[in-house]
Structure 1
Amino acid sequence: MAKKGSVKNTKNKALHSKLMNQKKSKLKASKIATKERLKTIVKRSQENK
């Protein structure tokens, strides 16, 4: 017989995918920020030469 009540494991999957998306976007944002910071450092060093 089928179980009655809420569907198994959908809440955990939804929460996990939400958290993983947050993690991926955070890593992507930090990677972009690092690239921008390095660009400005290189630009300043070239201007000083």
Structure 2
Amino acid sequence: MGKSGKEKNTLAKAKHSKLVNRKKNKIKKDQEKRKERLKAILAQHSNQQKKEAK
């Protein structure tokens, strides 16, 4: 049987999970930005090569 009374650490756990989720979202966002930047650089590079080949 569970304990009776006030639950312990629910606020701390909620705060921690909120911060961890924020950190994960930031990392994902940064990775997506990096991918898009690389795609743009590669596209620019391939366009340059096409112009030079002509």
| Equivalent residue number for residue 33 of structure 2 | 33
Q: Which runs of 5+ in 1 are unaligned?
A: none
Counterpart-to-counterpart distance in 1, 2:46 and 2:22: 36
* Segments ≥4 residues shifted beyond 3 Å: none
SS of the residue 1:17 aligns to: helix
Percent identity between the aligned chains?
43
TM superposition shift of 1:18: 0.2
Matching of residues 8-47 of structure 1 within 5 Å? 8-47=8-47
Q: Which runs of 5+ in 2 are unaligned?
A: 50-54
Normalising by structure 2, what TM-score?
0.79
Whose Rg is larger?
2
Paired AA for residue 24 in structure 2: K
How many positions carry a matched residue from both structures? 47
